[in-house]
Structure 1
Amino acid sequence: MQRDGQQHLKTGALSGLLVIDFTQMLAGPFCTQILADHGADVIKVEALTGDGTRITGPFCADDNLRAFGGYFQSVNRNKRSLAVDLKTEGGREILRRLIDESDVVVENFRAGVMERLGLSYEVLRETNPRLIYAAVRGFGDPRSGASPYAQWPAYDVVSQAMGGMMGITGPDRHTPTKVGPGVGDTIPALMLCIGILAAVHRARDTGEGQFVDVAMTDAVLAICERIVYQASYTGAAPAAEGNRHPLLCPFGLFRTRDGHVSIACATDAFWVELACAIGREDLAHAPAFATNAARVAHQEQVIDAIEAFTRVRSKREIGLILGGKVPFGPVYTATEIFADEHYAVREMLVEVEQPGSAIPVKIAGVPIKLSESPGTVRHRAPMLGEHTEEILTAAGYSPHQIAKFRDFGTIL
């Protein structure tokens, strides 16, 4: 198969890496989008009905086409779409041919689905021993540890709950709270991406592929690392602390006249800077506040002193006083993010075409900045089956064969 079927893919640190992407929803697509952002040729394999998130909004007001909404657009840019029916032998033949020439396969089906399709890692490695096969599931793949929950379906809220994140998030220990963004999906996606790149590095040295397995619950637990060592060292299970930190003070959110700000003084030197900046020099070196341990013991007094300063000022006013002196940041709304020059100069709000709409839309940019081979947002998310013919032609299928596949309902 000819790689990099699109000229715009021939850039980025991962240029030349061919990825067959069977993923859907959020965790898998977020992982493969990172690879695509950095130049990998990611072929998104979709059923003839498309990824289920294509019908999830929001949609632009003038979009009568509704090929996909904001959800799909935000995690499938820079990919090519191949629409194929994997329940047909012809569809599976197409995928086996593509995978034989690929570097990576990524999927997030329930355990056993790819085996039933005849596309298991063990089958695929027979003809492509250098293949990296990566899977992200709620409770992992039995190959690396058969969880009692292996057949349970899972989404973001499930992994947040069972991975320990909700148990330490919320206003108090009686009110576990979901974290706003889908971190139960995106954190496992990042872990899977790291695993894929590690395996690719080894394969280039040895010519040998391997299976990469990430359980969503495992990834969330790893990110919540302090609950493990706190329980191990103290014998007590950590619980939600609201907008405070159990081990550091001050470290959290403080009310302002128009919202909240975050202030994080993890060192005694930063505490001295903060105390002086808010006009409380008397607290800067007082024994009851001079060390972090002392401040944790007297955290109510610390918080009261800081909020006496912040409550009567706006976020902007506080920023002018504290910005650059101590770790500080206002709690932003999306409107404030769109207005902040930081996100403009860092190219973190990127315009892309929205099929069916006359107005471009903005999606989050590429956060990993490489000086010599930067990742970029090159192309909007694909239409369903937009690149099917292009991909099959590059794989060596003739126009007649492609037409027959289409007539038989194997491809879109």
Structure 2
Amino acid sequence: MTGGPLAGVRVVDLTHALAGPYTTMLLADLGADVLKVEPPGGDMARRAGPTPPGSDPAAYGGYFQSINRGKRSVVLDLKTDEGAAALRALAADADVVVENFTAGVMDRLGLSYEELSEVNPRLVYATVRGFGDTRSGGSPYLQWPAFDLVVQAMAGLMGITGTEDGRPIKVGPGVGDIFPGTMLALGITAALFETRGSGRGQFVDVAMYDAILALCERIVYQHSYTGAVPGQEGNRHPLLSPFDILPAADGWIAIAAPNNGRWRRLCELIDRLDLRDDPAFVTNELRVARRGEVFEALAAWTSGRTKAEILDRLGGQVPVGAVRDIAEIVADPHVAAREMLVELGHPGTGKRFHVAGQPLKFSRTPARPRRRAPLLDEDGPGVRAEAAGRAASQSEART
């Protein structure tokens, strides 16, 4: 199999839960050799479901498989001298170290960025935490634990996501983890590119809070330019119309046609030339001011038709899409054509199960999972023996 664009890059992965492992999963899909360093009890995500019938009880569930595919596993107890020495040896030969411990944990273990970069000046040391690191800017919340839900609340996402009566609703996927993790993967690849010229590594930090605030960039400029404090608006958009989730006879449909040309075409397709020609709806700004009327006019047409009928009429003409569940998505020919469902084996079952594919596509160096997620310490004996040899060589070199 052709290697990915990061083939040859060596990553020591100290992360757990979701944000950090998502980062290193992206790097693994891109071809990096990712060694997942776990404590004796393993990453806590190993114990999360769902687990298929007949699976190895010592293995893992779908959660762990999805975000730890393509990695190797070694158990090291970093609280012991032997474990810390092994990690130093691995870091000395690595391109990247990634961790998502609470700020200060690695410093107390004697494994900080400064200490590891002394023996490997080219090392890119990357972190993703709730509220960052003092190396990149202090925060009053530095020692606060953070989860997706908390960050969605604090950084503005839930402030604009919810029902029109002001009740906040969290976004379904764990974007408070996944988006920061994606940003960190970008930061790591940028730092690796810079290292090729400078010969020096650096510290790369993403705070979950910061990443979600950046994701909510619209509320920042809205508040700065107008003084407004945007709130929850249901499925509508404060600046665009139509931009709605509308009822269909068998579910829901999304229609977004704020461009004036798209609006006119939409009106023609639903046989509402009166709306097309009405001066009160001719521009997006006018439609935003009367978006309740726009919604009612469109809903009157969509509610009597099935999703399939609506898509047959509007598809390819204006931006439209059915609200789908995962069973419908799995059956979508687009998903198959784009290889967005990847099958991986699961230990103990003899079966293969789907995980989400890689949306990054390359013409020569494909990005895709190259192996299932590892069992705990599956690669440990060889890795520890190699690390011990390196540690001994480093000790001799220092003396």
Query: TM-score with structure 1 length normalisation?
Result: 0.93
Partners of 1:350 and 1:144 lie apart in 2 by 37
Partners of 2:29 and 2:239 lie apart in 1 by 38
Deviations 1:10-48 (A, max 9, x none): 711000110100000000000110010010000000011
For residues 163-202 of structure 1, the aligned pairs below 5 Å read: 163-202=155-194
Deviation at 1:173, TM superposition (A): 4.9
Q: Give secondary structure in 2 for the equivalent of 1:143.
A: coil
Identify the residue that residue 328 of structure 2 maps to in structure 1: 336
**Contact 2:9/2:33 (CA < 8 Å) preserved in 1?**
yes
For residues 7-86 of structure 1, the aligned pairs below 5 Å read: 11-86=3-78
Q: Give secondary structure in 1 for the equivalent of 2:354.
A: strand
Partners of 1:285 and 1:212 lie apart in 2 by 55
Partners of 2:37 and 2:164 lie apart in 1 by 44
Q: Note if 1:141 corresponds to 2:133.
A: yes
Partners of 1:129 and 1:149 lie apart in 2 by 30
Among candidates 261, 276, 294, match of residue 286 of structure 2: 294
**Contact 1:21/1:45 (CA < 8 Å) preserved in 2?**
yes
Deviation at 1:377, TM superposition (A): 1.6
The code of the aligned residue for 2:75 comes to A
Deviation at 1:258, TM superposition (A): 1.2
Q: Give secondary structure in 2 for the equivalent of 1:168.
A: coil
Q: Note if 1:323 corresponds to 2:315.
A: yes
Q: Give secondary structure in 1 for the equivalent of 2:189.
A: helix
Aligned residues: 391
Q: Note if 1:96 corresponds to 2:88.
A: yes
Identify the residue that residue 396 of structure 2 maps to in structure 1: none
**Contact 1:66/1:356 (CA < 8 Å) preserved in 2?**
no
Q: Give secondary structure in 2 for the equivalent of 1:305.
A: helix
Among candidates 374, 384, 406, match of residue 366 of structure 2: 374
**Contact 1:32/1:42 (CA < 8 Å) preserved in 2?**
yes
Identify the residue that residue 211 of structure 2 maps to in structure 1: 219
The code of the aligned residue for 1:183 comes to V
Deviation at 1:265, TM superposition (A): 1.2
**Contact 1:138/1:217 (CA < 8 Å) preserved in 2?**
yes
Q: Note if 1:234 corresponds to 2:226.
A: yes
Partners of 1:293 and 1:181 lie apart in 2 by 32
Q: Which runs of 5+ in 2 are unaligned?
A: 393-399
For residues 295-310 of structure 1, the aligned pairs below 5 Å read: 295-310=287-302
Identify the residue that residue 410 of structure 1 maps to in structure 2: none
Q: Give secondary structure in 1 for the equivalent of 2:140.
A: coil
Deviations 1:208-227 (A, max 9, x none): 11111110010000010011
Partners of 1:101 and 1:245 lie apart in 2 by 50
Deviation at 1:388, TM superposition (A): 1.2
**Contact 2:343/2:354 (CA < 8 Å) preserved in 1?**
yes
Deviation at 1:389, TM superposition (A): 2.3
Deviation at 1:385, TM superposition (A): 0.5
Identify the residue that residue 238 of structure 2 maps to in structure 1: 246
**Contact 1:65/1:355 (CA < 8 Å) preserved in 2?**
no
Cα 1:333–1:216, aligned 2, differ >3 Å: closer, same or farther? same
4+ runs deviating over 6 angstroms: none
Q: Give secondary structure in 1 for the equivalent of 2:54.
A: coil
Deviation at 1:397, TM superposition (A): 3.4
Deviation at 1:390, TM superposition (A): 3.0
**Contact 2:93/2:120 (CA < 8 Å) preserved in 1?**
yes
Partners of 1:357 and 1:235 lie apart in 2 by 58
Q: Give secondary structure in 1 for the equivalent of 2:281.
A: coil
Identity of aligned residues (%): 54
Among candidates 144, 149, 168, match of residue 157 of structure 1: 149
Cα 1:376–1:256, aligned 2, differ >3 Å: closer, same or farther? same
Partners of 2:147 and 2:176 lie apart in 1 by 7
**Contact 2:39/2:78 (CA < 8 Å) preserved in 1?**
yes
Deviations 1:135-193 (A, max 9, x none): 00001111111100000000100110111000000112520110000000001011111
Deviations 1:259-317 (A, max 9, x none): 11111113111111111111112111321111000100111111011111111111111
Q: Which runs of 5+ in 1 are unaligned?
A: 1-7, 402-412
**Contact 1:59/1:66 (CA < 8 Å) preserved in 2?**
no
The code of the aligned residue for 1:24 comes to H
Partners of 1:324 and 1:51 lie apart in 2 by 46
**Contact 2:87/2:387 (CA < 8 Å) preserved in 1?**
no
**Contact 1:21/1:44 (CA < 8 Å) preserved in 2?**
yes
Q: Note if 1:127 corresponds to 2:119.
A: yes
The code of the aligned residue for 1:286 comes to D
Query: TM-score with structure 2 length normalisation?
Result: 0.96
Q: Give secondary structure in 1 for the equivalent of 2:245.
A: strand
The code of the aligned residue for 2:39 comes to A
Identify the residue that residue 357 of structure 2 maps to in structure 1: 365
